[in-house]
Structure 1
Amino acid sequence: MRKFYIIYIFTALCLFASCGAERSLKKAEEHLALGEYYDAATMFRKAYQQTPAKNRNERGLYAVKMARCYTKINQTKRAIAAFQNAERYNHASNSDKLTLARMMLKDAQYKNAEKIFLSLKDSLPNDILVKNGLISAQKAVAWKKQGSRYTVKRMNLFNSNKGEYCPKLQGDRYSQIYFTSTRNTALGNELSGITGAKNGDIFLSEKDDKGKWNKPEAISGSLNTEYDEGACDFSPDGKTMYITQCTTDPLYPRYAKILTSQRSDASWSKATELPISRDTLSSFAHPAISPDGNWIYFTSDMPGGKGGLDIWRIRITPAGLGGVEDLDSTINTPGNEEFPSFRPNGDLYFSSDGHPGMGGLDIFIAKTDKNTGKIKIEHPGYPLNSADDDFGITFEGPHNRGFFSSNRNDGKGYDHIYSFENPEIIQTIKGWVYETDGYELPKSQVYMIGNDGTNLKLSVKGDGSFTQTVSPGVDYVLLATCDGFLNHKEEINIGSVKESKEYTLQFPLASIAAPVLIDNIFYDLNKASLRPESATALDKLVTLLNENPHVTIELSANCDYRGGDEYNKILSQKRAETVVRYLISKGIAADRLTPVGYGKENPKTIKKKITEKYDWLKEGDRLTAEYIKKLSNDKQEICNQLNRRTEFRVIRTTYGLFDKNGNLKELPKTKNKNKDADAEIYF
């Protein structure tokens, strides 16, 4: 009787375990259908443990599904163990064995990975991932021993005991760093079914006046939500943020989307979706804006790619987004290519586990040859890359230094932020575009042409500056333009140097709509004759008129209120005519110049820029005699000096453009060899 009772109890336990495994399996499949890989892996593992060892088929099935989920969430060691169990139960396909070998690369088990890759060569002879994986397994140790000029350091200030990834330097002086973090202070209370951690938010750290980074804080505004905000990038002017977001829905899988947010004062607006495609079953993530602002690169699994995740791009136009393009097989592989990012010189950085590398995601560089247009892929080596995942790189201007993210040395697989530097001898041009006698012009555009074939359109930052790397031994011409202003051109020859050097250029743009002061013009006392020191300023005006050959100007001279009306009028007229004669002597056509003497009838109106020097003046003040006479003697003299001025004002912008029949003449033009820039640039 006792024997039958024991058999009954054992049978009941088996039935209970079987029912428990079925319930766990059902929950696991539900989580898997929604892309909740962490929760799915947990339930597959529970079903595996609830299944007797004699049920080899079921155990093998649960093991392989568990392994695939662990692979998705970077639980490398658990994925390896689960795949090995699936092999033990004869439930691992060649595809699973390939994934196991790739996981072993991530765990630096290079010898074990090599054995599996070799065993797969016959069954998968044309598989690129087998071929490249074998190269990785055989060479990774030597690559690590060889090293590189990169130095890498973990940034503890930015990191927490959770995850931080995809840093992005921002600001005119790169004094801001944005990144995603799943730390406890992120919004929301629930843990993600996908990762097992909190959903990420965008955090910001800024440098203080001494150049020290402050403690990161979640960015203000309504951009962060209870959903998962991930990798971000910015438009060249820094006013638009492109961001990855993954929402939560209990009934549907999570598909990542790219959203945009606009900066208003010191905060970011609520993000709205960027309509890249009508495809609602694919993910769109990891946005990266090209340095010229003309393209958005991103990661997607949409149909038509090379396999896995690919990097795609789409043109940004004033009318909206263009068509989507998949990058060619030089970059994309049947593996995963993700996290595109640009160095300001135009080099594309991305992460891949499909190219030969150290193990998991490695950072690669795609460089385009200026002459052939062909793309060359470079692997920057160890320690920038490791056996683990390395991705999400950002640069401090033109320098080969900045930050990136990696899950190296973290037993839980969390990503953290690291700094990097590779000392390079680089030469750069730093330019400022601003209104003559005024402020910076962030809406301006700079074109740069070099005699080595360089043809670029450079974006200007919020402070009116731009920075561009240049090559030694090359002559460059740079043209700054802005709506409502005359063009300004600078030429520079870059020599050879043994250390990094920065060349500084100024681009003051003269307004078309308002009078422009010609500073440092000097006349003899009560005479119309120019003093020699006036030549410098007038020669700059000659250059400006030559750079803008279709402009005619009114050249005006003004006096202060002292002296008789007629005397001042005659003197100012003669002075204006003297300046015009000087310009004509330098080759400027007489019919482009109209001299006018205003005497004292045109008092100066104060611009905001002048108030920075004389804080007792207010913007909009008009320096009339009545206004000046109310001031102290020293302030009166300053105002009189401001009134005694020589200015020019643009009258026409169509001089010489039409023939005698009124037809537009053909303009001289410089052909643009850069297919991604404007078709033609007029100088």
Structure 2
Amino acid sequence: MRIILFLFISTLFASCSIEKSMNNAEYDAVIAKLGSAPSKNSPEENVMVGDAFRKSNRLVESIPFYREAIKQGTLEEAPNLYLAQALKVEQEYDEAKRILDNYLPKANDDKIRKLAEKELHNLQKIDELKQKESYYRVKNLADLNTEKAEYSPVYSRNYLYFTSNRDGSKIYRTTGTPFTDIYRVATKGANVELTTLSPLDPMINHLDTNEGSVAISPDGSSMIFAKGNDGKAKGYSEVNLFFTRFRNGKWSEPVPLSINVAEAWDSTPAFSPDGTTLYFSSTREGGYGGADLYQAKVNRRGRWVDVRNLGPEINSAGDDVFPYVSEDGSLYFSSDGHPGLGKLDMFRAVREGGHVTVENLGKPMNSSADDFGLFQFNLTRGFFTSNRKGGRGDDDIYTFINDDPDLKVVNYFLTGVTYTTDDAGEEIILPNTKVSLTADNGDVLDEAFTGADGKFDFRVYPEEHYDLIGEKTDYFTVRKDFTTIGKTVDKSTLTEFITNITFETKIMMDPIVLERAIVLDNIYYDLDKANIRSDAALVLDSLVQIMNDNPEIYIELGSHTDSRADDDYNMKLSQRRAQSAVSYIINEGIQAERIVAKGYGETQLLVKNAQTEEEHQRNRRTEFKVLRYNPRDRDDDLPPDESVDEYDRFFKDSGDGNG
């Protein structure tokens, strides 16, 4: 009896120990205890081992454990999905389809069912992807790669930066492999000079943390990289983004970015070509799948702000990671949620006509394994990472060349200036103005702050309509439309590889002056009537837009008549007309307390003793004026904050650029 009790207690403690290791993400410990013979494990243990292999990026090795768990009758539904995904990596596409076909009719877990349906749809696209024409050529960067992992290459100023566990001695218990560090090596194109290979200094690389993917600022002086938490960073238990600057021959102490989210995985950073946008991947709440792609903008104070999800056209139900924006505005990224050949495939997203199209790069850029971390050396050459068969070991760095003979690049840019006018009507440059580029659906595509010259620049896309929104404290927020529709170029007529087309515009900013009347042109009423005509409604709609864009203003809407009736009649008529216009505006959603109606009759004639119909029309006008203004704190007028951490000011102070 004692022996039986002892065996029971021993088994109980062993089970608790394994679950504890699993909960602590010590997947290698779970595999060491249960990963030898799936037929000897319970269904629960086999699912646990399968999950341990999958979560430590060893998906193929999970196959016998998920398969055995399903055979044993596990009640968990997720192993069906994960087994199909693992079989896809092994190019056993028909078997993967069979697993999902058997599972779906009896699915009860709504979330897993939807993911399985999506995976089955993706599997049905495999043959189409295999037949995709490709002009890419790829080659293993064998001089650099080892049997360990080398991944996430980034080229900057004659150096190739990458992440590797090649020299690690301490083992990361999640994967059973050494911790990763960031390295750099001098290179001329794809020709690396191995004698220059070295890890970054200990200020960056720590013995007991994983340093991950890197983004180098365009000037080469600053770096944002992913770093695993060592337990000392309060509130950050996952992977997060850190900033450091190279100055006076060394890297500064890395500090976490304010856009990190506690308990989320924030990683795979990349700068836009001009350095004003940071792209990254995150598992924060509110996304469309596992890890989603996001962007943040740097404001004129150097802070990363306005974090935005890139949307459902790009983000999938799976993981979308490793963004990269090329010189032609294309967004490259990796995903296991879009139709692909294996686990992570590489994709290219382009915008045209107001829509985003996502294209799989096809073979040989993609394989049945993980393919990710693309970085272009120029528009036809670059680097990426793959753990495909035939490599040197784990993840390897590859080079690629695009030999497409019809490849033509057309870049469209919009440049402009913000200005105001003086009393004489002369234009005056207006600096420190926030300008936003928005699509027809209201999505903000880009933002900029004008400098001392009042200039702003945006990349725009073919066959698309935009609104430009100018904002500055003490000035009316204004909108100006712009379109590339009918202005795009037929690539077949071009002879140059790269063609840049620049459009120009101006944005006039009116100051907010209390009690100053502003005429609303083209608001007409039928004779002796106060109802809003359709043509007048269009003008009033523009005032509604002004009110929505400027929530800090409270206005009076005034109506004036000409002098061709008696004073009392005109006063009453103008009040009815003003009230009618105000009622229209309130019905469009403007708060009633923000607008009042005022009829002036003929008391404020612009043309006294009017004789012509044109002169009478000038007197018959509708105006608005600002009665009260509660200015918001807008970023354009905020002074530099000396308490801001160093990383928050890097964009204003680029350092010595020797990184």
Q: Does 1:213 align with 2:192?
A: yes
Structure 2 residue 33 is the aligned partner of structure 1 residue 43? yes
Deviation sequence 1:298-352 (CA, Å, 0-9, x none): 1111111112111122222133222332221111122111111111222111111
Would you say 1:170 and 2:156 are equivalent positions?
A: yes
Shift, 1:78, TM fit = 1.9
- Of 342, 357, 380, the residue aligned with 1:376 is 357
Q: Distance in 2 between matches of 1:167 and 1:458?
A: 29
Residue pair 2:142, 2:392 contacting (<8 A) in 1 also: no
Residues 147 and 393, structure 2, Cα contact 8 Å, conserved in 1: no
Does residue 102 in structure 1 map to residue 102 in structure 2?
Answer: no
| Structure 1 residue 401, shift from structure 2 partner | 1.6
Structure 1: 5+ residue stretches without partners: 1-7, 430-446, 450-454, 460-467, 473-492, 505-677, 679-683
The answer (yes or no) to whether the contact 1:27–1:40 under 8 Å persists in 2 is no
Alignment partner of 1:223 is 2:204: yes
1:53-108: per-residue Cα shift (whole Å, max 9, x none)? 5xxxx711111011111111122232111101111221152222111111111121
Q: Does 1:418 align with 2:398?
A: yes
**Contact 1:83 1:92 (C-alpha < 8 Å) held by counterparts:** no
Deviation at 1:263, TM superposition (A): 1.5
Q: C-alpha distance in 2, partners of 1:21/1:412?
A: 41
1:314–1:322 Cα contact (<8 Å) kept: yes
**2:121 counterpart (100, 118, 135):** 135
Q: Which residue of structure 2 lines up, in the alignment, with residue 388 of structure 1?
A: 369
Contact map agreement 2:333 2:346 (CA 8 A) in 1? yes
Partner residue in 1 for 2:137: 151
Counterpart position of 1:334: 317
- Structure 1 segment 227-238 matched on structure 2, within 5 A: 227-238=209-220
- Does 1:30 find its partner at 2:10? no
Aligned-partner residue type, residue 42 of structure 1? A
Residue identity opposite 1:387 in structure 2: S
Question: 2:183 matched to which residue of 1?
Answer: 203
- For 1:553-582, what per-residue CA distance to the aligned partner results, in whole angstroms no more than 9, with x for missing partners? xxxxxxxxxxxxxxxxxxxxxxxxxxxxxx
Partners of 2:386 and 2:244 in 1: how far apart?
Answer: 27
- Whether 1:247 and 2:226 are equivalent positions in the alignment is no
Cα separation, partners in 2 of 1:412 and 1:68, compared to 1, 3 Å: farther
Does the residue aligned with 1:122 lie in a helix, a strand or coil? helix
Contact persistence 2:51–2:62 (CA under 8 A):
yes
SS class of match (2:130): helix
> What is the deviation of 1:128?
4.7
- Match in the other structure for 2:60: 77
Maintained 8 Å contact 2:126/2:341: yes
TM-score under structure 2 length normalisation: 0.58
- Superposed displacement of residue 282, structure 1: 1.2
The verdict on how the C-alpha distance between 1:305 and 1:469 changes in structure 2, with shifts beyond 3 A counting, is: closer
- The one-letter code of the counterpart of 1:231 is S
Q: Distance in 1 between matches of 2:263 and 2:254?
A: 21
Of 275, 286, 291, 1:293 maps to 275
Distance in 2 (CA, whole Å) between partners of 1:469 and 1:324 is 19
Alignment of 1:426-505 (within 5 A): 426=408, 501=497
Match of 1:310 in 2: 292
Q: Deviations over 1:562-614 (max 9, x none)?
A: xxxxxxxxxxxxxxxxxxxxxxxxxxxxxxxxxxxxxxxxxxxxxxxxxxxxx
Does the 8 Å contact 2:221/2:246 carry over to 1?
A: yes
Q: Does 1:281 align with 2:263?
A: yes
Question: Which residue does 1:539 correspond to in 2?
Answer: none
Pairs within 5 Å for 1:103-118 = 103-118=86-101
Task: Report if aligned partners of 1:136, 1:359 keep a CA contact under 8 Å in 2.
Answer: no
Q: Aligned partners of 2:375, 2:258: CA distance in 1, in Å?
A: 26
Asked if structure 1 preserves the Cα contact closer than 8 Å seen for 2:325 and 2:331, the reply is yes
The letter of the residue matching 1:416 is D
1:88 and 1:394 mapped to 2: Cα distance? 43
Distance in 1 (CA, whole Å) between partners of 2:263 and 2:295 is: 18
Displacement of 1:270 in angstroms is 2.7
Partner in structure 2 of residue 612 of structure 1: none
Cα distance in 1 for partners of 2:130, 2:326 equals 24
- Confirm whether residue 400 of structure 1 aligns to residue 380 of structure 2: yes
Residue identity in the other structure for 1:414 = D
In 1, the alpha carbon distance for the partners of 2:367 and 2:491 equals 37
The verdict on how the C-alpha distance between 1:282 and 1:410 changes in structure 2, with shifts beyond 3 A counting, is farther
**Do the aligned partners of residues 336 and 316 (structure 1) sit closer, same or farther apart at CA in structure 2, a change above 3 Å counting?**
same
Q: 1:89, 1:310 → 2: CA distance?
A: 35
RMSD of Structure 2 on Structure 1 (CA): 4.0
Equivalent residue for 1:65? 48
Instruction: Measure how far apart 1:193 and its partner are.
Output: 0.9
Matched-pair contact (CA < 8 Å) for 2:297–2:447: no
Report SS of the residue matched to 1:160: coil
* Aligned CA distance change for structure 1 residues 102 and 253 (closer, same or farther; 3 Å): farther
* Mapped contact 2:272–2:279 kept (Cα < 8 A): yes
Work out which of the two has the higher radius of gyration on C-alpha atoms and give 1 or 2.
1
Residues 95-147 of structure 1 deviation map (CA, whole Å, 9 limit, x = unaligned): 22111111111121101101122224434589553333223323424533545
CA distance in 1, matches of 2:22, 2:346: 29
Deviation at 1:178, TM superposition (A): 0.5
Quote the Cα distance in structure 2 between the aligned partners of 1:291 and 1:275: 22
User: Cα offset for 1:198?
Assistant: 0.9
Distance 1:294 1:95 in 2: 41
After superposition, what is the alpha-carbon deviation per residue over 1:382-417, rounded to whole angstroms, capped at 9, x for unaligned? 1101111110010013x1320100111169982111
Detail structure 1 runs of 4+ shifted over 6 Å in the superposition: 14-17, 250-253, 410-413, 455-459, 468-472, 493-499
Shift of 1:494: 12
- Corresponding residue SS for 1:207: strand
Q: Secondary structure at the match of 2:279?
A: strand
SS in 1 for 2:184: strand
Counterparts of 1:379 and 1:248, CA distance in 2: 37
Give the superposition deviation at 1:503: 8.7
SS of match in other structure, 2:31: helix
User: How much identity, in percent, do the aligned residues show?
Assistant: 27
Q: Contact (CA 8 Å) 1:388, 1:408: kept in 2 or not? A: yes
Partner of 1:619: none
Q: State how far apart, in whole Å, the 1-side matches of 2:141 and 2:249 are.
A: 25
Deviation at 1:380, TM superposition (A): 1.1
Match of 1:613 in 2: none
What amino acid maps onto 1:77 in structure 2? V
Offset of 1:264 from its aligned partner?
1.9
Q: TM-score, normalised by structure 1?
A: 0.56
- Specify whether residues 420 and 301 from structure 1 end up closer, same or farther in structure 2 by C-alpha distance, changes over 3 A only: same
Report the AA paired with residue 280 of structure 1.
A
Aligned residue-pair number? 431
Alpha-carbon separation, structure 2, partners of 1:68 and 1:248: 24
Q: What letter matches 1:162 in structure 2?
A: K
The Cα shift of 1:246 comes to: 0.5
SS at match of 1:162: coil
CA change 1:198–1:470 in 2 (3 A) is same
Preserved contact between residue 86 and residue 92 of structure 1 (Cα < 8 Å): no
